[in-house]
Amino acid sequence: MIEDENTCLEKKISKFLLKVSSFPTGDQLSQKTREILQRCSKNILKQSCDDALLSYYQTEYRIYQCVERQICQPEIARVFKDIDDFLKTASSIMNRRKARAGRSLENHVDHILNDFKLQHKMQPKIDGNPDIIIPHEEAYYDSKYPKNKLFIIGVKTTCKDRWR
């Protein structure tokens, strides 16, 4: 019997969870997500960049939720001392989720840019702290480099009203 993509994903995720006792780093989780998807999805390498990015990002979130449930369950099942203890725990979980989501998206964008051999630098040390510069920091500081070939990119999971 041929295994469908979802069944394959569930099996691979379950197998991965057996080895997890603490939160993997963002890089580790992103890498594991791509490995799992590339084994279970026949079409992932044929998808457009946008579709592949969404698949990686959504699958990583699915895996993260499983890891989170496994690791955080004892913490949230306990009796809280008071409302502040509860809110502190909830805040910690939410902050971890937000940080992971941003790192996940950056990791998968970096992976796709590398796949296409597009010269770029993640987290360059330039004004404004962008997430990506294409092609590199040296071009940014070179006044002779053509400005129409220089790209500065912010990789964000949400749009905030402070953006202009």
Residue 9, Cβ neighbours under 10 Å: how many? 19
Active-site positions read 140
In terms of DSSP H, where are the helices of 18-156? 26-40, 49-77, 83-115, 137-141
Q: At what angle do helices 83-115 and 49-77 cross, to 10 degrees?
A: 160
- Report the C-alpha gap between 97 and 61 in whole angstroms: 9
Residue 24 and residue 31: Cα distance in Å, rounded? 11
- The SS3 assignment for 115 reads helix
Which residues lie below 8 Å from residue 119, measured CB to CB, with a gap of 6+? 134, 135, 136
